[in-house]
Amino acid sequence: MGKLIIVSNRVGSLKDTGKAGGLAVALVDVLRERGGVWFGWSGAVSDEGTFGEFKIERSKQVELVQLDINKADYDEYYAGYANRTLWPILHYRLDIAEFDRPFEEGYRRVNERFATRLKPLIKPDDLIWVHDYHFLPFASTLRAMGVENRIGFFLHIPFPSPDIITALPRHGALIRSMLAYDLIGFQTMRDRNHFIDYLVQEQGGRVVDDDVVSVYGREITVRAFPIGIDATGFATFPDSPEGKRQQQRIRQAQRDRAQIVGVDRIDYTKGIPHRFRGFERLLEEYPENRGRVTFLQIAPSSRSEVDAYADIQRELEGLAGQINGRFADVDWTPIRFIARGFPRKALAGIYRASRIGLVTPLRDGMNLVAKEYLAAQDPENPGVLVLSRFAGAAEELRESVIVNPYSAAEVAAALQTALQMPLDERKSRHALMFERIVRNDAHNWATRYIRALGG
Ligand code: GDG
């Protein structure tokens, strides 16, 4: 059996610092099981990678191999094509995508350089698993260098319908380059179906078997693999010292008030301003909640070099100020907006102490916060998940209260339903969803994908 090679923009960590998400930990686990390499960008910007220097870290059959990228790569590949063009388009945001900037060349260049550096590490039986929108053409670059191994791809973010994808200049060449993969995985059936529709409508593809599409004389498997978290591990975090400390702090400050929690990287896809307006509507239309319910939004900043991201933080500060100004009382602040991150165990305690998890992205590949919120609940007295229909997680978490995140009235009504939900119903909904996220946890997800790739 050959080793497993994982390629992704950022690489996980070999030390369990408690900071890494469950996904990174699960991928290191599967690398340990069969031996492997995790290959990607170091996060640093310098000229060293351009001249072929690696950073290598090794432990127990696993190697992390990381390369720096240079300033032009950062601007064109990472902040440019990946995050200003592909990210918005794949999240249905044609209105803010940047179409005609000279980013594409940098994207192609970094894909090629990374493939060139990886090539000498590949042995004939190795399985190669490439992740996410940073590396759509990676396999085609490897194939051009003569690599014949099985190569799989998994897209962590949504894949929109052909109507939207076709707005991307040169979409034909880009998507055609993806056909060099043997297996292409998506988060949901919706995304998978959009991709197949695209192949059929735009590239002359033909569905030959359930999950197999024949296109340009190749047969590739296209399937949904909804991603999971380490649900049983996360479920123990609220009872860790850090988790308990946060629960205590919240209970002391809140007394018997119900807390609603939102946790997101600041990103325009997460629908955070819409969520603030939904909470405001709750206070307007169901005044019995004034003084009794608070909303805590945790939102560490991300990608602040892209204008669209810096703007949201200011918008949220303004909105929180307005809503608090309008409704607050001497002993009650309706919204607490915290623009920084917390350690994972602290987050788990915060989830446990919150009556409602409010997860309302406008579009999301999966959304792991929804699953973490469920995993952190006390099964004997669980809170309620209010979830956007546009999160990939809504395909699996059907017993949550599903909402249209664009409608403040609908979000307010869903919050009211969740606040009034009787214990029995909360327990039965939670039990069904918890069982499902344990069964399809991160480790299982990775194992199923690797098996489908031929491992
Ligand atoms: C992409 C896709 C897909 C957030 N705040 C803090 C913190 N977080 C952690 C959460 C969660 C992770 O970040 C966010 O994951 P999401 O899935 O919600 O969203 P993206 O970052 O956009 O991830 C998404 C995912 O890939 C996996 O395939 O589900 O759809 O967009 O784990 O807990 N972690 C800590 N402190 C924080 O303040 N420690």
Domain assignments of the chain as residue spans, ordered by start: 4-228+442-453, 231-439
Atom of ligand 1 nearest to the CA of 368: 17
Q: Strand locations in 225-355, DSSP E?
A: 258-263, 293-298, 335-338
Whether residue 54 is predicted with pLDDT greater than 90 in this model: the reply is no
187-198 pLDDT, tens per residue? 999 999 999 999
Render the burial of 132-155: b for 16+ CB within 10 Å, e for the rest.
bbbbbbbbbbbbeeebebbbbbbb
pLDDT number for residue 253: 92
Render the burial of 1-14: b for 16+ CB within 10 Å, e for the rest.
ebbbbbbbbebbeb
Query: Which region, left, alpha or beta, applies to residue 127 given φ > 0 means left and ψ of -120 to 50 means alpha?
Result: beta
| Active-site residue list | 156, 364
pLDDT number for residue 44: 93
Atom of ligand 1 nearest to the CA of 372: 33
pLDDT number for residue 431: 98
Q: Which two tokens stand for residue 221?
A: 């498997």
> CATH homologous superfamily of domain 4-228+442-453?
Glycogen Phosphorylase B; (3.40.50.2000)
Minimal CA–CA distance to 220: which of 323, 301, 140, 112? Answer: 140
| Phi and psi, residue 85, nearest 5° | -115, -65
Q: 296 near 355, Cβ under 8 Å?
A: no
Average pLDDT of the segment spanning 9-38: 82
Atom of ligand 1 nearest to the CA of 270: 22
d(CA 107, CA 301): 24
Whether residue 19 is predicted with pLDDT greater than 80 in this model: the reply is no
Whether residue 311 is predicted with pLDDT greater than 90 in this model: the reply is no
pLDDT number for residue 305: 76
Model confidence at 387, pLDDT cuts 50, 70, 90, reads very high
Q: Strand locations in 299-352, DSSP E?
A: 335-338
Model confidence at 22, pLDDT cuts 50, 70, 90, reads low
> Which residues, listed in sequence order, are joined to residue 335 by a DSSP beta bridge?
295
Average pLDDT of the segment spanning 217-223: 96
Average pLDDT of the segment spanning 410-420: 98
Residue in the block written with tokens 């969740």:
418
Whether 4-228+442-453 shares its CATH topology with 231-439 is answered: yes
d(CA 289, CA 449): 46
Whether residue 21 is predicted with pLDDT greater than 70 in this model: the reply is no
Model confidence at 107, pLDDT cuts 50, 70, 90, reads very high
Whether residue 16 is predicted with pLDDT greater than 70 in this model: the reply is no
pLDDT number for residue 18: 59
| 217 alpha carbon – ligand 1 mean position (Å) | 38
* Rg of the chain (C-alpha set): 22
Whether residue 246 is predicted with pLDDT greater than 80 in this model: the reply is yes
Please tell me the least confidently modeled range out of 45-59, 270-284, 312-326, 417-431.
45-59
Residue in the block written with tokens 């031996």:
35
| 139 alpha carbon – ligand 1 mean position (Å) | 26
Q: Contacts for 25-28 with beta carbons within 8 Å, 24 or more apart?
A: 25/230, 25/442, 26/230, 26/441, 26/442, 26/443, 26/445, 26/446, 27/446, 28/62
| 146 alpha carbon – ligand 1 mean position (Å) | 36
Model confidence at 53, pLDDT cuts 50, 70, 90, reads confident
pLDDT number for residue 401: 98
| 31 alpha carbon – ligand 1 mean position (Å) | 22
| Mean of the per-residue pLDDT values of the chain | 95
What CATH class is the domain 231-439?
alpha beta
Q: 269 near 91, Cβ under 8 Å?
A: yes
95-104 pLDDT, tens per residue? 999 997 889 9
Q: 107 near 83, Cβ under 8 Å?
A: no
What is the best residue among 130, 263, 298, 362 to mutate for testing ligand 1's pocket, by most ligand atoms within 8 Å of CB? Answer: 263
Please tell me the least confidently modeled range out of 16-25, 88-97, 291-300.
16-25
pLDDT number for residue 72: 95
| Phi and psi, residue 379, nearest 5° | -60, -20
| 367 alpha carbon – ligand 1 mean position (Å) | 7
Residue 422 burial (CB count, 10 A) = 7
Q: Which residues have CB under 6 Å of ligand 1?
A: 21, 23, 156-157, 227, 263, 265, 298, 300, 341-344, 347, 364-369, 372
Close Cβ partners of 288 (under 8 Å, ≥ 6 residues apart): none
What is the best residue among 366, 440, 449 to mutate for testing ligand 1's pocket, by most ligand atoms within 8 Å of CB? Answer: 366
Whether residue 396 is predicted with pLDDT greater than 70 in this model: the reply is yes
Atom of ligand 1 nearest to the CA of 156: 28
